[in-house]
């Protein structure tokens, strides 16, 4: 079966693209209500779902249908009226399919925001129009910037509670701009005044705020140009698995399988395998049963080479003219996820691309106060949610890039070797 794109004869859904976004805000900023509203007004909520939350809302004595109940699916969440974990939600319009990572605003759950942001191309940061830009807003924007989300929407919510005031909106915009000038990864910031509860400027334009001439939130999400997140210059194929059929028909087939993390691979291309440094030429590029003309990010493919060299899981196939960095000393920003503070003498394992290796914490350089963006060089104890800079030494060499250059080959997680918990997320500098 052909795995080529069928764009020529396609209509509608075959051409749709995908936008992954995350939502952040503090407690009671109305995130879940906003998501419920987006889905409800774009008709992504089904009748039985609506019926079920109507029933639950009534039982809880809520005045309006509580749309938050759509995403707060766990019993503890409904009982406490809070969102505990990242909830993934899906909806589509004729233009785009959307994946939402709804992340809770509770301060102890910042790790969830980092998690949701790691796969997002856009972040919606909710600001309560009555409270303005607060510490949490800065914290969330800092994380979006750190995780290299290039597009941020500041959704100024609860405009109905400030009498749809343009001044209140303008002040928030000014305050945020002052703060955001220091966030260098964010390419574009949009400001939209909304009322998630009443629906103003979410899907339909507000009649209460004639002074606002910009797009509604949904229109913005549908049309914002999110350039390819992938790096199409530096060719990288982290090898996940070696396909060896051992069948008569494919007796000598050795396919190096992985998901392209950057650049383009074509038959005939000269490649180098790292860390060994051996050269070869690409014989064939395959995508699930069919031969492809080329492979690029984020496609999962397998490639065959013109000579037999020793390649295994964890190796990286790249091009000779722009190799990845190879090394065991890693300088990185990390976010600490565990309730147990970081013990620099602890035993950890690093997971980077398809590689797993033992790792030592060589040096803790500083922590960042993410409300002021100041470096804290005296306090070096990483507690839950702390972000800062460390140097690591890995037991075997990694093939990596900076996180700025490549989100796939520049990211890693640290795993506690005894509990197996994922205790930190890292971005290589």
Partner 1 sequence: MHDYAVTHLKQLESEAIYILRETAAQFERPVLLFSGGKDSIVMTHLASKAFWPAKIPFPLLHVDTGHNFPETIEYRDEMVSELGANLVVASVEEAIKDGRVVEEKGPNASRNMLQIQTLLDALEEGQYDAALGGARRDEEKARAKERFFSHRDEFGQWDPKNQRPELWNIFNGRMSPGEHFRIFPLSNWTEMDVWQYMKLEGIELPSLYYAHKREIVVRNNTILAVSEFVQPRDGETVETRQIRFRTMGDATITGAVESDADTMEKIIEEVAAARETERGNRADDKRSESAMEDRKKAGYF
Region 125-154 residues binding partner 1, contact defined as CB under 8 A: none
In the bound complex, what is the minimum distance in angstroms from residue 126's beta carbon to partner 1?
19
In the bound complex, what is the minimum distance in angstroms from residue 419's beta carbon to partner 1?
9
User: Within 10 Å of residue 291's Cβ, how many Cβ atoms?
Assistant: 12
The answer for residues whose C-beta is within 8 angstroms of residue 297's C-beta and 6 or more apart is 228, 230, 231, 232, 259, 260, 261, 262, 263, 408
Beta bridge partners of 285: 303
- Cis, bond preceding 50 (omega within 30 deg of 0): no
Give the DSSP letter string of 186-217.
--EEEEEE-BTTTTBTTTB--SS-TT--S--H
Site for partner 1 in 30-49 (CB under 8 A): 46-49
- Span from 112-120, 125-133, 174-182, 196-204 in contact with partner 1 (CB under 8 A): 112-120
Phi-psi region of 202 (alpha: psi -120 to 50; beta: other; left: phi over 0): alpha
Taking the CA atoms of 46, 48, 54 and 59 in sequence, report the sign of the dihedral they define. Answer: negative
Beta bridge partners of 375: 368
Site for partner 1 in 287-326 (CB under 8 A): 287-289, 296-300, 313
Q: Going residue by residue from 208 to 247, which x/- string records binding to partner 1, judged by CB under 8 A? A: --------------------x-x-x-------xx-xxxxx
3-state helix, strand, coil in the chain (%, to 5): 20, 35, 45
Taking CB under 8 A as the criterion, the residue among 31, 140, 151, 407 binding partner 1 is 407
Nearer to partner 1, 97 or 198 (CB): 97
Site for partner 1 in 408-427 (CB under 8 A): 408, 411-413, 415, 420-422, 425
Number of residues located near partner 1, criterion CB under 8 A: 85
In the bound complex, what is the minimum distance in angstroms from residue 161's beta carbon to partner 1?
28
- Cis, bond preceding 190 (omega within 30 deg of 0): no
In the bound complex, what is the minimum distance in angstroms from residue 29's beta carbon to partner 1?
20
User: Within 10 Å of residue 323's Cβ, how many Cβ atoms?
Assistant: 17
Site for partner 1 in 157-176 (CB under 8 A): none
In the bound complex, what is the minimum distance in angstroms from residue 247's beta carbon to partner 1?
7
277 binds partner 1 (CB under 8 A): no
Q: Going residue by residue from 350 to 389, which x/- string records binding to partner 1, judged by CB under 8 A? A: -xx-x-----------------------------------
Find tokens 């910009």 and name the residue: 214
112 binds partner 1 (CB under 8 A): yes
Contact yes or no for 29/195 (Cβ under 8 A): no
Site for partner 1 in 56-95 (CB under 8 A): 56, 70-76, 78, 84-90, 92
User: Within 10 Å of residue 127's Cβ, how many Cβ atoms?
Assistant: 27
């Amino acid at each position: 079966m052909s795995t080529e794109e069928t764009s020529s004869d396609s209509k509608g859904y075959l051409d749709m693209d995908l936008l992954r976004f995350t939502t952040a805000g503090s407690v009671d900023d109305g995130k879940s209500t906003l998501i419920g509203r987006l889905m409800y007004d774009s008709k992504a909520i089904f009748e039985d779902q609506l019926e079920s939350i109507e029933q639950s809302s009534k039982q809880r004595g809520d005045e309006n249908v509580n749309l938050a109940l759509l995403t707060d699916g766990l019993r503890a969440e409904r009982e406490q009226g809070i969102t505990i974990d990242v909830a993934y939600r899906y909806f589509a319009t004729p233009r785009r399919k959307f994946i939402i990572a709804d992340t809770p605003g509770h301060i102890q759950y910042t790790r969830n925001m980092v998690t949701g942001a790691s796969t997002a191309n856009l972040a919606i940061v909710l600001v309560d129009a009555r409270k303005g830009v607060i510490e949490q807003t800065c914290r969330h924007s800092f994380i979006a910037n750190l995780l290299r989300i290039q597009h941020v929407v500041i959704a100024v919510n609860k405009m109905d509670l400030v009498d749809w005031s343009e001044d209140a909106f303008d002040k928030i915009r000014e305050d945020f701009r002052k703060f955001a000038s220091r966030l260098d990864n964010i390419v574009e910031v949009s400001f939209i005044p909304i009322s998630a509860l009443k629906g103003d400027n979410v899907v339909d334009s507000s009649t209460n705020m004639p002074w606002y001439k910009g797009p509604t939130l949904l229109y913005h999400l549908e049309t914002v140009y999110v350039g390819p997140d992938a790096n199409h210059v530096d060719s990288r194929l982290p090898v996940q698995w070696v396909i060896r059929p051992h069948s008569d028909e494919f007796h000598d087939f050795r396919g190096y399988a992985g998901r392209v993390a950057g650049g383009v691979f074509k038959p005939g291309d000269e490649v180098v395998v790292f860390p060994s440094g051996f050269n070869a030429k690409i014989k064939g590029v395959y995508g699930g049963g069919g031969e492809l003309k080329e492979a690029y990010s984020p496609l999962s493919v397998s490639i065959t080479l013109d000579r037999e060299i020793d390649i295994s899981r964890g190796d990286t196939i790249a091009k000779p003219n722009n190799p990845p960095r190879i090394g065991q000393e890693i300088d990185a920003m990390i976010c600490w996820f565990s309730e147990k503070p970081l013990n620099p003498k602890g035993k950890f394992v690093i997971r980077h691309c398809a590689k797993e290796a033992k790792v030592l914490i060589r040096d803790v350089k500083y922590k960042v106060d993410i409300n002021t963006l100041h470096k804290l060089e005296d306090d070096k104890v990483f507690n839950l949610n702390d972000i800062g800079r460390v140097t690591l030494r890995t037991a075997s060499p990694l093939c990596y890039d900076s996180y700025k250059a490549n989100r796939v080959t520049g990211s890693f997680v640290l795993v506690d070797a005894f509990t197996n918990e994922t205790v930190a997320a890292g971005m290589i500098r």
